[in-house]
Amino acid sequence: MYAADPWVVIVTHPDGAEHSQRPTALTLRESVRWLAHDIDARSAYEVNRWSAIVLAERRARSVIQRKAA
């Protein structure tokens, strides 16, 4: 249903090196918040899309935290 939507999963440096000064979970959370900056709460499509993005971010964050541990 949402396969055509662009999703921000992880933001890295163009050279692929580990330059991040912030945890990946924080980057994920900020990316998801940015995607919601203009959501119309009256639109069922936008609310469902936003819910799917939030749930995907939570799943990704938990996987990243498990791998980091």
The answer to whether position 18 is within a domain reads no
Query: What is the per-residue burial (b if ≥16 Cβ within 10 Å, else e) of 13-29?
Result: eeeeeeeeeeebeebbe
Q: How many domains does the chain have?
A: 1
- Domain hosting 63: range is 42-69
The answer to whether position 62 is within a domain reads yes
The answer to whether position 50 is within a domain reads yes
Amino acid at 55: L
pLDDT for the residue 1: 45
The answer to whether position 53 is within a domain reads yes
pLDDT for the residue 7: 56
pLDDT for the residue 63: 79
pLDDT for the residue 30: 67
pLDDT confidence bin for 40, thresholds 50/70/90: confident
Return the higher-pLDDT residue of 66 and 28. 66
